[in-house]
Amino acid sequence: MLNNLFVWTLALTISIEIFGQTKSFKDSAAVYFNEIKTATKQSKNLWNYDLYGPILFVQSDTRQLYANYPDSAGLLKKEGSIYTGILPQEVNIANTSLHWNGKDWAMVMLPLPDNKSDRLNLLAHELFHRAQPALGFKLHNTENNHLDQKDGRIYLRLELEALKSAVLASSPKKIKTHLTNAFIFRGYRYTLYPGADTMENLLELNEGIAEYTGITMSGRIIPEMQNHFVKSIREFLNNPTFVRSFAYQTTPIYGYLLRNTKKDWNKSITAQTNLTDYFLSVFNIQLPDDFKSAITSIADQYDKQTIIAEETAREEKIKKLITEYKNKFIEQPHLDIRFENMNISFDPRNIMPIEDKGTVYPNIRVVDNWGILTVGNGALLSPNWNKITVSTPTQIDDKKISGDGWTLELKNGYTVQKDSASNNYFLRKK
């Protein structure tokens, strides 16, 4: 979600026939724009700022655009009260914010959710990202690789179980008990992984606050909100990894529960706020000195043994997968592509950290000065985001290179060459 650096895709699983919605979407787009315009106006006091602004609805397969504003370059054509066009190939498609053709946009992939509250939630989330710099919040997309480790996952899952119980609790006393337990699990996780508190906080200030904005503007009443959180956590636990998506669950629930007693709490935070410390203070929660002893007495009520068993089994499978990825992208011949001015989109739910070697992204699209790389079967992104590695090429033409599940479309002035010493391939300027 960084304008000229990268965008990232949070794919939606929605049971809607894409063709059916696309066919009639031109007629519905104006309705959806008006829905979110009304919702942001009604919720202007949330940030003392009306989040409504330029929005792009994009059909992934055809790149068809529907917009509520014209673009400065005149690419979009006015049709009734909306604007239509085709998104250029060099622009990645994602649920994100981006600067394109003279405007800052919130981009949302089609199809949209059928449910109005889910639809408003999604649009308000992306509109927050569009307005994020103006609101004083930096755009952070950190990888919390410790949340792909067994203990990191266990104590995040226990925290989420405690939060789910807090959402469903019937009294302030029970809510506070479950909240306290959630923070105990969180605190213990931070002792296991030094620096995790800082890294998690960066993503919670970014995606967590955006999702809190979305759920607040969704129009859900209390029973609907409770059902939403329970369903969201259940679906989240099916994700292959938690490293980039956990903040969609944690911050919104803490914020929702705090909103009952401190409605405007979000106006008290800044880009420098440590959200864990802030929530502990305003909830008036005192944590024990000995996290481990406290966990022994509370964890069983959140089904700890089942969670441990599931995560132990997962760890064994992941070890095998990491070995396969290391062989594919490090030990065997491969193609290294260095970035110059990259823009990236990907699904944050299924990435796989590979020790200190970087992170494997099963599905990723990169646009750079050298052209477009489209990957559908895995690529290794370096830890400092300066290069990407794919498997060895199986076909090399002048402008198109391809391999196992990936295609590289080159612009003039670039070529792929093999290094005879290492048998690896490299992208170079001619």
On the question of pLDDT at 366 being above 70, the answer is: yes
On the question of pLDDT at 251 being above 60, the answer is: yes
Quote the distance between the C-alpha of residue 139 and its chain's center.
12
Residue in the block written with tokens 């992204």: 361
Residue 205 included in any domain: yes
156 and 275 part of one domain? yes
Describe the crossing of helices 196-203 and 172-192 by its angle, rounded to 10 degrees. 120
280 and 335 part of one domain? no
Which percentage of the chain shows pLDDT scores above 70? 94
237 φ, ψ to 5°? -65, -15
The parent domain of residue 159 ranges over 145-302
| Lowest-confidence region among 7-16, 210-219, 243-252 | 7-16
Contacts of 203 (CB under 8 A, 6+ apart): 140, 141, 142, 144, 244, 246, 247
297 and 153 part of one domain? yes
| Lowest-confidence region among 11-25, 78-92, 276-290 | 11-25
270 and 159 part of one domain? yes
281 and 399 part of one domain? no
Do 112 and 119 contact (CB within 8 A), yes or no?
yes
Query: How much is the average pLDDT of 228-233?
Result: 98
Residue 3 included in any domain: no
Total count of domains within the chain:
3
Tell me which H or E stretch contains 374. strand 371-375
292 and 185 part of one domain? yes
pLDDT at residue 11 in the model: 36
- Last residue within a domain, chosen from 271, 302, 333: 302
Do 104 and 96 contact (CB within 8 A), yes or no?
no
On the question of pLDDT at 4 being above 80, the answer is: no
C-alpha pair distances (Å), 302 with each of 132, 147, 171, 193, 351: 36, 19, 18, 22, 27
55 and 84 part of one domain? yes
164 and 268 part of one domain? yes
Residue 134 included in any domain: no
Distance CA 25, CA 189 (A): 46
Query: How much is the average pLDDT of 16-28?
Result: 57
Residue in the block written with tokens 């997968």: 321
> pLDDT band at residue 24, thresholds of 50, 70 and 90?
low
> pLDDT band at residue 91, thresholds of 50, 70 and 90?
very high
On the question of pLDDT at 12 being above 60, the answer is: no
Cis peptide before 111 (omega within 30 of 0): yes
- Last residue within a domain, chosen from 93, 115, 137: 115
Quote the distance between the C-alpha of residue 276 and its chain's center.
20
On the question of pLDDT at 136 being above 80, the answer is: yes
- Last residue within a domain, chosen from 235, 269, 302: 302
Describe the crossing of helices 247-259 and 222-236 by its angle, rounded to 10 degrees. 160
154 and 290 part of one domain? yes
Q: How far from each other are the two terminal CA atoms of the chain, in whole angstroms?
A: 32
Distance CA 88, CA 123 (A): 22
Structure pTM?
A: 0.91
Give the CB-side neighbour count of residue 395, counting CA atoms within 13 A: 12
Query: Is the Cα dihedral 29, 35, 36, 41 positive or negative?
Result: positive
| Lowest-confidence region among 1-5, 165-169, 194-198, 223-227 | 1-5
Distance CA 368, CA 246 (A): 29
Residue 140 included in any domain: no
Residue 8 included in any domain: no
On the question of pLDDT at 125 being above 90, the answer is: yes
> pLDDT band at residue 192, thresholds of 50, 70 and 90?
very high
388 and 272 part of one domain? no
pLDDT at residue 429 in the model: 94
207 and 298 part of one domain? yes
Give the CB-side neighbour count of residue 167, counting CA atoms within 13 A: 26
Summary mean pLDDT of the chain = 93
pLDDT at residue 7 in the model: 43
Residue 177 included in any domain: yes
219 and 358 part of one domain? no
Give the CB-side neighbour count of residue 131, counting CA atoms within 13 A: 21
Quote the distance between the C-alpha of residue 15 and its chain's center.
20
Q: 409: helix, coil or strand?
A: strand
Residue 417 included in any domain: yes
Residue 348 included in any domain: yes
Do 366 and 343 contact (CB within 8 A), yes or no?
yes
pLDDT at residue 349 in the model: 84
